[in-house]
Each structure stands twice: as structure tokens, then as C-alpha cells.
């Protein structure tokens, strides 16, 4: 349980950064869903506020107990995540061509988001016991590869290519951090290069269109390329200081699609310009540096790797989402942490912050 002596090590800096980014997210979401005379999405702001409150409660719950408890229960947590994914496969809600959500009373839960935390914990648990100075061999990497590919395969079947890709990138980041033997690294890279053509043939037609549209948005300006084109217009029209809060025309006139989820950064860029966008990116940069600093200063292998995994989760989602809305990456449906609308996304990121706080508070104390 929580030791009162740990209160002196509470990470107020990390909490401050999260509050600032979360506040910017709520302000941007309010603008995204309340522009125009009549907007059916206006209730999303209130729902997001509730999800943030739930997220804060879960964050507190996560750091009240020593992170060592998550190491002990890692297999159980991972197993629950797999069961939830299978439950979605059998009984999930079918929306927009995908089966990703479980209905829990009036709310919906997306288990593929929670899987990110489950994979981080199980990989940190495994690598903490096997890490060595020479680097991990290919044989030692077989188990973590299986532990990662099982949930990824289920997620991609939903289909949710974006979340599956984030889980893979988190696993790769953790694996590179713990060090791999040179021979094993060359083998993995060669295998990935051989697998690329196979993956292309396994993609669904709409996923292939997204990649082709990324390469040339003008090939279908009113169809698959519409999202990227309108997003670029919104970002560019913000110029240096933006059009002002609630004054974004691309958003108000409904030119910008998915303005409250995948493309919410475009709303912020149009209203606050380069200055506002830059400030948000600086806050994300500070958050990532803070997470890496927690990892670097933790002397326990599990806490060290756990912190790297959570930081990698936030880093890759920020990079992919912003790259997506700027036309630098294909549109794969990855949310921007703390900013995009989505209860499951908020809960997952806040639980990740709870893990970082947990390690930060206990990195010098071994209970």
C-alpha cells in the first residue's frame, strides 16, 4: 500500500505537464465540437471531461501501490487484455466497418488501447529477468515476439492497423533499449524487409488506398485524399499566430473531417497557428524527456524498462498522429494523447502516467 514517506517524492513536475496538455486538449475539443450553429457532437466535451476525471482516479490508483506489484501480476494483466480482445472478436460492437468496442452500460471500451499497457508490463517483466550486457540473442527474443504478435494479430483483424502498429513500435523501442546482439538485429531487419511485400498483400483494400493516398493525395482529392488535403489547408491557414479561439473556418464549415479525434491537431493549428502548435509540441517534448529521465534514474530493471515503454507509447502516438495530419504519414487512425476525443485513449494514457509517477516516487526506495 501507499507509504506516507513517499509523498515527499511525488512528481509535481510530471503532473504539471500532464495538466497543461490535458487542459489544452479540453479547450481544443470544445472548439472542435462546438463550432457552427447546430452540432451533434457538442456532448463530446462533457463526456471527455468525465473521462479525464476517471483517468485521474485510475492514475492515482496506479501509483498508490508499488510498481513491483505490476511485475508480480504481469501475466494476469496480459491475460486479461487478451481475453478482452477475444471478447471484442465475439461480442464487440460493430461500428464503421470495424469491431473494436465493448459496450459497458452507457459507455464503450476499446480493449486494444488497454493492450498497450498490458504489453509494456509483460515485456518489462520478461526483459528485466533476461537483460544482459552482451545483448539478447535471437532465441531470447522469440518469447517477447510471440507475446507482442498475439495481441497485434487480433487487433489487426478488427481491423485496427494504427493501434497494432503502435503496439509493435512500443515493443521494438523496448527491445532496442535493452540491447540486442548484432547477429540477431541483422536477422530481424532482414526478416522485416522480406515480410513487407507479404504484409502489402494482406492489407485490406481501404488500407492500401490510405498508403497510396499518402504518397499522392491528389490522386483522389474528393475521396481518400480529402482528409489529408483539408487537414493541410487548416494547418497552413493558421499561419504564425492562428485565427483565434473558436474562429477556425475549416472546422466551423465542416471541411475538416474527424475534427474531434484523428485530426484535432489541425483544429488547434488553425486557431493558434505555429506559436500554439509549437508550444504544444514543446510540452510533449518535455513529457517525453521527463519519462526518459525517470527511466534513466531508476536503478531497478523492471521500473527502468517500464518507464521506457510508457514513454515510447506517448512518443509514437504523438509522432504518428501529427505526421498523419501533416501528410507525412498515412492516415491510420492513431489518436493524439490527451488531445483527441476518446475515453479508452484517455484512460490508457493516464494509467501510463500513473506508472511513470509510480516509478518516479519509488526509484530510490525499494519496498
Q: Which residue carries 472478436 as its cell?
A: 89
**Domain limits at 15?**
4-362
- Is residue 311 domain-resident? yes
pLDDT digits (tens, 9 = 90+) for 57-69: 999 999 988 899 9
pLDDT digits (tens, 9 = 90+) for 41-57: 568 889 999 999 999 99
User: Mean pLDDT in the chain?
Assistant: 86
- Extract the residue ranges of the chain whose pLDDT is less than 70: 1-6, 35-42, 96-97, 206-207, 210, 213-225, 252-255, 364-367
- Is residue 329 domain-resident? yes
Compute the distance between CA of residue 102 and CA of residue 105 in angstroms, rounded to an integer.
10
Q: Which residues pair with 99 in a beta bridge?
A: 94
| Sequence-separated (6 or more) residues with CB below 8 Å from residue 289 | none
At 109, is the secondary structure helix, strand, or coil? strand
pLDDT at 228: 81
Give me the count of residues in the chain: 367
pLDDT digits (tens, 9 = 90+) for 248-272: 877 766 667 778 888 899 999 999 9
- For residue 272, how many other CB atoms are within 10 A of its CB? 24
CB of 155 closer than 8 Å to CB of 336 = no
Q: Measure the CA angle with vertex 286, ends 163 and 69; round to 5°.
A: 60
- Is residue 367 domain-resident? no
- Of all residues in the chain, the percent with pLDDT exceeding 70 is 88
Say what the alpha-carbon torsion angle 162, 165, 170, 175 is, to the nearest 10 degrees.
180
pTM for this entry? 0.91
Q: How many domains does the chain have?
A: 1
- Is residue 40 domain-resident? yes
Amino acid at each position: 500500500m501507499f507509504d506516507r514517506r513517499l509523498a515527499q517524492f511525488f512528481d509535481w513536475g510530471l503532473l504539471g505537464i500532464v495538466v497543461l496538455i490535458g487542459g489544452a486538449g479540453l479547450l481544443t475539443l470544445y472548439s472542435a465540437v462546438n463550432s457552427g450553429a447546430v452540432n451533434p457532437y457538442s456532448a463530446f466535451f462533457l463526456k471527455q471531461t468525465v473521462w479525464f476525471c476517471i483517468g485521474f482516479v485510475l492514475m492515482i490508483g496506479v501509483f498508490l501501490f508499488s510498481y513491483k506489484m505490476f511485475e508480480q501480476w504481469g501475466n494476469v494483466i496480459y491475460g486479461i487484455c487478451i481475453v478482452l480482445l477475444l471478447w471484442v472478436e465475439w461480442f464487440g460492437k460493430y461500428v464503421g466497418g470495424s469491431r473494436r468496442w465493448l459496450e459497458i452500460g452507457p459507455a464503450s471500451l476499446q480493449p486494444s488501447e488497454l493492450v498497450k499497457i498490458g504489453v509494456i508490463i509483460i515485456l518489462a517483466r520478461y526483459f528485466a529477468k533476461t537483460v544482459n550486457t552482451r545483448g539478447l540473442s535471437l532465441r531470447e527474443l522469440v518469447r517477447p515476439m510471440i507475446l507482442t504478435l498475439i495481441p497485434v494479430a487480433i487487433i489487426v483483424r478488427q481491423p485496427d492497423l494504427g493501434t497494432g502498429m503502435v503496439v509493435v513500435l512500443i515493443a521494438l523501442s523496448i527491445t532496442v533499449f535493452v540491447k540486442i546482439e548484432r547477429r540477431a538485429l541483422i536477422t530481424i531487419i532482414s526478416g522485416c524487409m522480406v515480410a513487407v511485400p507479404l504484409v502489402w498483400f494482406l492489407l485490406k483494400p481501404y488500407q492500401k488506398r490510405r498508403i497510396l493516398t499518402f504518397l499522392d493525395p491528389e490522386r483522389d482529392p474528393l475521396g481518400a485524399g480529402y482528409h489529408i488535403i483539408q487537414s493541410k489547408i487548416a494547418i497552413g491557414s493558421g499561419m504564425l499566430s492562428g485565427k483565434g479561439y473558436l474562429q477556425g473556418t475549416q472546422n466551423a464549415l465542416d471541411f475538416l473531417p474527424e475534427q474531434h479525434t484523428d485530426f484535432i491537431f489541425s483544429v488547434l493549428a488553425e486557431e493558434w497557428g505555429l506559436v500554439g502548435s509549437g508550444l504544444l509540441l514543446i510540452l510533449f517534448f518535455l513529457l517525453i524527456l521527463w519519462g526518459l529521465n525517470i527511466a534513466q534514474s531508476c536503478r531497478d530493471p523492471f521500473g527502468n524498462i517500464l518507464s521506457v515503454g510508457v514513454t515510447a507509447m506517448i512518443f509514437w502516438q504523438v509522432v504518428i498522429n501529427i505526421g498523419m495530419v501533416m501528410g507525412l504519414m498515412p492516415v491510420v487512425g492513431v489518436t493524439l494523447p490527451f488531445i483527441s476525443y476518446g475515453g479508452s485513449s484517455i484512460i490508457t494514457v493516464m494509467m501510463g502516467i500513473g506508472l511513470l509517477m509510480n516509478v518516479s516516487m519509488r526509484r530510490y526506495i525499494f519496498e
